[in-house]
Each structure stands twice: as C-alpha cells, then as structure tokens.
Amino acid sequence: MLKVLKSGFFTTIQDNGRYGYRDKGVPVSGAMDMVSVSRANRLLENNLNAAVLEITMTGPTLLFENDTYIALGGAWLSPTLNNKPIDNYKVYTALKGDILSYGRLEKGFRSYLAVKDGFKTTPVLGSQSHYYPLTATKCISELQEIEFNECGSFAPKISELQMDTYLDINLLEVYQGPEYKMLGKKQLEDLFLKEFSVSKDNNRMAYQLNETITGHSKTILTSATQPGTVQLTPSGKLIILMKDGQTTGGYPRILQLSEEAICILAQKKSTDKLKFKMFKP
C-alpha cells in the first residue's frame, strides 16, 4: 500500500485511457503526458498500460507501506526519498516506511510516479483513470491508501534514462483539422507566425490561449472532437481540448495536435509561450 500523507494540489491515478465509450459522451482521460509515463513504465518493465500517479504543480507526500521499486518522470518537482534528492527516469528501491516528498516546481507542470507492476485500483469502463463523476472521486485524498503489489527483488535491464529535453520545447506540431480550409490568409498568418501564451484557464479538459486571431461568423453542426483538437471561437479565441475534454463541439476544428504535441502542451503552465508548426511528412 501507498499511504497519502499529503495529497498535493491535484494528484490523480491515470493509465493509457478509457476507449470505446466516446459515443456515449465519455472522454478518453488517461495520462496527459504519455511520453513521460511510457518511459517510467519501461524502466520498471511494466505493462505500458500500468496505472501511475499524475502529479500536477505541487506534489504529495507519500508513505510506502510495502517494498517496491519506483521511477519518476515528467516535470521536475524537486523530489526526495527520505529527504535525499532523487532523479527522474531512474529506478529506485522504496522500502517499507520510506517517504517520498516533492518540493519546488522547477520545470514542466505534471510529474509522474510509477511503481513496479503499477497501482491496483478498480477499473471503471476498462480504465483506472480518474474522471469524476464516472469515478467516485476527482483525485486522491489525504490518508487514502493506494494498493500495489509488493516487490522485494527486481533487476532492471535498464536502470536509468537521460532527463527530458522536451520540457523546454515550445513548438506544437499540428495537422489540418476538418475546418482548416475555412481559414483566410490573415488567420493563417496569425496562427503560424504569432507566439501564444497559456491562459490561466487550463486544466485536464482544455487549454485556452491568451492571444487571439481574427474571428469568424461561420457555424458548424456539433461534431466529434478528440484530445488535441484546436477549436476557434467566433471571437478568435483558441481552445485546445485535452484528455478530459468533451467528445463533441460546435466550434470549427481548425487544427489537430500530434500525440507528442499533446504531451508537450501538458507540461505547460499559465503564461508559458508556444507556437504552432504544421506537420511536414
């Protein structure tokens, strides 16, 4: 078991996501930054769908009640194990009674904690990912105990990976969205020449950008959306849907982020800068 002594700002259990229910209005959910999650799980030789903790901005304080092995990834939140600094993308032994803590956010926005064989919570519609009200809670809470399989012996084939460099990237690679061709010359110039900044209105559902481009007066039928869909409002505001975003929308879908771009954006916080770059095969 992992006992939550302090829960942090917003800490959730996430896996690869919940698929096959979008026609019923259920978002995909899952980890926002799957690049970081897959690296941490690979170090522990876990199934790539193994559930992890997604830690946003401010980290929790966690007590290990059984022996296991851990790997951290994503944002840099100054983690310590028993008050000794530890690194991302490195396998560590966590013994019964050990305490994992987090300090100041230095880079990125979302950090991940993987344990050997993953966390063992009850799946809902085939996924362990938190998504309230489908799941009973929005996130983990203080004094909660999260189950994992005890592991006293593990010899990883690879015990360490290089630290992330993509946390510094501000270019988001995109594809044309279904309504891309409705854009005029000025809108396209703004879209690909402007530098945008992340609004304070950002979460697992969507990221809004502070800067606008020329608006429009076109309407479309409510149509399917997915994580990474960039919507353009009549006022020229850009909204980028993320993992908990709605499954349909009525704003033109002008761009679609690549999978890697979704991960890059997931590590951005309010006021961080970014630009769009069209994918070139």
Q: Give the separation between CA 139 and CA 55, rounded to whole angstroms.
A: 10
Q: Read off the pLDDT of residues 146-178 as tens digits, 9 standing for 90 and up.
A: 999 999 889 898 888 887 678 999 999 999 999
Per-residue pLDDT tens for 131-144? 998 999 999 999 89
Q: Give the E-state strand segments of the chain in sequence order.
A: 2-6, 10-14, 52-56, 61-64, 68-76, 80-81, 84-85, 92-94, 99-101, 107-115, 145-146, 171-176, 196-202, 206-209, 223-224, 229-232, 238-241, 248-249, 253-257, 273-278
β-pairing, 80-81 vs 99-101, is: antiparallel
**pLDDT at residue 231 greater than cutoff 90:** yes
Tell me: pLDDT of 27 over 70.
yes
Cα–Cα distance for residue pair 276/254, rounded to 1 Å: 12
3-state secondary structure of 9: coil
Confidence of residue 15 (pLDDT cuts 50, 70, 90): very high
Give the start-to-end residue ranges of the domains of the chain: 2-146, 169-278
Q: Is the model's pLDDT at 126 over the cut of 80?
A: yes
For residues 109-119, average pLDDT: 97
Instruction: Please check whether the domain covering 169-278 is classified as CATH 2.40.100.10.
Output: yes
Mean pLDDT of the chain: 94
- In this predicted structure, what is the pLDDT of residue 164? 66
Return d(Cα 66, Cα 94) in angstroms, integer.
Answer: 8
- Which is it for strands 248-249 and 223-224: parallel, antiparallel or unpaired? antiparallel
| pLDDT at 201 exceeding the cut of 90 | yes
Asked if the model's pLDDT at residue 123 lies above 90, the reply is yes
Question: Per-residue pLDDT for 79 more than 70?
Answer: yes
- pLDDT at position 232 is 96
Region 229-252: mean pLDDT is: 95
At 60-70, the pLDDT tens digits run 999 999 999 99
Burial of 135 from C-beta contacts in 10 A (0-12 / 13-18 / 19+): buried
Q: Give the global pTM.
A: 0.94
Reference 94, options 105, 86, 103; nearest CA is: 86
> Which pLDDT does position 174 carry in this prediction?
97
